[in-house]
Structure 1
Amino acid sequence: MGSFRQRGCKCPPDRKRCNCGAKWYYRYDIVDPKTGKRKQKEIGGFTSKAEAEAEAKRIQYELLRGIYTEPSKMTVEEFMTDYVKNTLKNEVAPNTYEQRLAYVQNHIKPHIGKVKLSDLSPSHIQKFYNDLREKYGPGHVQNIGRLLNKAFNQAVRWNMIARNPFQLVKKPSTSRKNTKIKVWTIDEQKIFLSHAMKGPLIYYTLFLLALTSGMRKGEILGLKWDDVDTKSGIVRVKRTIVWAQKSIYLKDAPKTESSIRTIQLPEQTVKALKKWQLACPANELNLVFPSPKTNKILYPNSLDKQFLKTVAESGVSRISFHGLRHTFATTLLSSNVNPKVVQEMLGHATIKTTMDTYSHVLPNMQKEAASQLSAVLF
């Protein structure tokens, strides 16, 4: 039936239990279908003997039923790189392909890349998720988890592994309860805009639009003058910019279907856009905010540098450019604007996304609702 062993244990011989973290392995025999000869196989990396015994039961069951799949010798890194480059590439947009390849190189390879495909255990995966959650947001970690789960499902269909270990681990939570969103107060917004007004007109107008529309960075950089109606005071969000194959380009249809939307702007923002329109240099793509250097698409990292420079000079608390979107939503919700309106302006697919993201505003909204009810009834 096979044997178990603990490799590399450094605990004293008389110890009652192992505390050094040495892994358990299971060794068993199978018959080579090509030669008819018996050969030994070993699977391991288990954190406890019980975990190894559970895997042994599964292997023996599959051997008896004739459904056993011989473990693949490929590592997780080798398989994931091949899967993304040769399978996923044909199924997704270029920018998504580049992003998924970056997941493999930046996250999967350093953590679990050297583990053999057949040796990857639930404990490996749980530790991987835990390590990622210490550095990255829940949405980012879950996207990596989705990629791995999809890839390993394919590995099962290709008979490279017998089962998908990612289905045995709880998916990374997307809860934002422990994620603190950094936003500006009304006073900080005024101070920042007052300082930005002293700088280049293009950046002042761009920052003002971000703070008063809630548009994403890519949506602002992909905005064309055809999308701006200064008479009605609205902008139409139709596209975004994407980075793929080491180049940047415009992509019709932003992040999701709900991202295609119309946003009503404050009068001050409309006036600023009119002023900038007169000064904006003509450019091939008719962009509202072309690069001051190339007159083509303004690169996101260039915008970030200018934004952080302005933040530092103005003396307000440091937030990311995406923090302007969070600030916009928080300001509206705190001012008792209907959450459904905020959802539509942000381009969220559901009201749940809006309320989950900005749950920190809910207590004040509830207090205001209770005050209004008190005023009406008593």
Structure 2
Amino acid sequence: MKGSVYQRGKTWTYRFRGPERDPATGEYPTISRGGFTTEKEAWKACRDAMREADQGRVLRRSTRTVSQFFVEWFAAVEASMDATTWQNWKDYANAYVVPRIGATKLQRLDEPQLLKLYSALLAEGRVKQDRNTEMFRYWKARTADGDNPRPHEVAEACGTTIHAARAAVRRYRAGIAPKKQPPGLAPKTVRNIHAMIHRALADAVAWKYMAYNPASNIRPPKRSRTRRTVWNPESIQLFLRTVQQDRFAALFLLELTTGIRRGQICGLKWSDVNLQVGEITVHDNRVVVAGHARDKSGGKTRNADQTIAIDRATTAALRSWREHQDKERAFFGPDYHPGNYVFTFEDGRPPHPDTIRQRFDRLAAAAGLPRITFHDLRHSYATAALKAGVSPKIVSERIGHADVGFFLQTYAHVLKNDDREAAELAAAFLIQEGSEATSEGEPS
């Protein structure tokens, strides 16, 4: 295979004959590319291209843009990808990637462009308007004047939906004030965007749309490690006392004594609960896709699908809840919603996971407790279990972590707190007892 380089105007172009005939024409295709500033640069690119052609990775020149590729890619991978991941990645592409580099030719996309994209997203990437802060500012000003603004007034003044305004007013009345959002995206979000781009461009290389994957040669922004806020046992006990009369009191108790994920507790069915032996089998999920709740089989990680034990108090609470639910089922009769979910509304409908999250926020604020997220209940359980002396491996398995090593990194601060006690116990056994035995044997 021979190539040639020639000058066209002020730039240089390479050209060579492809190694295989085109099945459509029966002729050897001519592969060329121009725009190089020097003859040396063109020759280097020519040799690289011929090497790629010898390995069967022949790229035909294409004007396909990044935006056009993503449209094709998302349609192709939807059936083989988890629904929540697919929707999240599509939202990332439409909100953050396509508006900034969508017009770029796919074959021209390189590492500097991706690094520039990530820097811009970190600095000023937030595209969603901070309506929450705007609504709170309006609501606070009205209440300071002695008024009691209704949700429809908040929605009209701030240009939001009535549903968003109702949820916001409930939060404000419960004492939950919004935190002002920075203009840039969090490093974790940019890392997620990088993961999406890396996977998409890997497929582009496999489809022979690109010669290589530029996302493989750069590192995403470093994720800052922050210690999650958790409740101590006193706060947990106070919360459970204040929600005893709430409809979902048993749900919160189960969450705090198992640490399972929100989707798993909302998707739990009675067929997966064994009250005789005190066990639940965690398998089905109730997830949120594009704002809508959807049932999904299988857990988030390979360890997520498992059977775990529940304590006697939680078993008793679930038994009492089931008796109450059976009365509601009998009352509604054929109008009772099918599905056999453990936690439901009066007519058997399972709750939307976001509804549980919002309900928890209001109940925690009403109890005067430190503000944490519903997901932090999971961390609260794991932290309490470790402090109680449960093996890290057992705790990791119970909450469904895929990697025990990652679990140990996440809760290293908890384990470090036990290091002092471990040192004292070991020393008491090895040194003090040994010293006493030595002193008894020594002559007086």
TM-score, structure 2 normalization = 0.67
247, 255, 272: which one pairs with 1:210? 255
Q: Give the C-alpha shift of residue 218 in structure 1.
A: 0.6
Partners of 2:356 and 2:392 in 1: CA distance? 30
Is the contact between residue 396 and residue 404 of structure 2 (CA under 8 Å) also seen in structure 1? yes
Larger radius of gyration: 2
Farther-moved stretch of structure 1 (342-351 vs 367-376): 367-376
Distance 1:316 1:209 in 2: 19
* Residue 159, structure 1, aligned to residue 208, structure 2: yes
Partner of 2:429: 376
> Is the 2:287–2:353 contact (alpha carbons within 8 Å) kept by the matching residues of 1?
no
Identical aligned residues as a percent: 29
Q: Which runs of 5+ in 1 are unaligned?
A: 4-25, 44-48
The letter of the residue matching 1:116 is: K
Partner deviation per Cα, 1:147-194 (whole Å, 9 max, x = no partner)? 322321222233322221112113566x6x623312112222122222
Give the TM-score, by structure 1 length. Answer: 0.77
What residue in structure 1 maps to residue 394 of structure 2?
A: 341
Could you say what secondary structure the match of 1:257 adopts? coil
**2:74 and 2:90 in contact (8 A); partners too:** yes
- 2:213 and 2:382 map into 1 onto residues whose CA distance is 40
Secondary structure of 2:229's counterpart equals coil
**2:96 maps to what in 1?**
107
Please give the alpha-carbon distance, in whole angstroms, between the structure 1 residues aligned to 2:74 and 2:382.
36
SS in 2 for 1:248: strand
What secondary structure is seen at the aligned counterpart in 2 of 1:262? strand
Evaluate the alpha carbon distance shift between residue 233 and residue 82 of structure 1 in structure 2; reply closer, same or farther with a 3 A threshold. same
Separation in 2, partners of 1:258, 1:105: 32
Q: For 2:361, which of 304, 308, 312 is the aligned residue?
A: 308
Name the structure 1 match of 2:45: 59
Tell me, in whole angstroms, the C-alpha distance in 1 between the residues paired with 2:40 and 2:404.
43
CA shift, 1:226, in A, is 2.1
Measured against aligned partners, the alpha-carbon deviations of 1:193-212 in whole angstroms (never above 9, x if no partner) come to 222224x23x2211111111
Aligned residues: CA RMSD: 3.5
Aligned residues: 341
Partners of 1:304 and 1:250 in 2: CA distance: 17
- Residue deviations 1:113-145, cap 9 Å, x none? 34332232212223444566763464x655543
What displacement does 1:71 show? 5.1
Residue 194 (structure 2) aligns with:
145
CA distance in structure 2 between the partners assigned to 1:257 and 1:54 by the alignment = 51
**Residue type of the partner of 1:72?**
S
Classify the secondary structure of the residue corresponding to 2:303: helix
Match for residue 83 of structure 1 among 58, 69, 73 = 73
Does the CA contact (< 8 Å) of 2:266 and 2:285 recur in 1? yes
Q: Deviations over 1:12-69 (max 9, x none)?
A: xxxxxxxxxxxxxx954355989x99998448xxxxx9xx999867524335668474
Contact 2:111 2:214 in 1 (8 A): yes
Structure 2 spans left out of the alignment, 5+ residues: 18-26, 123-183, 330-336, 432-444
Residue 234 of structure 2 corresponds to 187
- 1:12 paired residue number: none
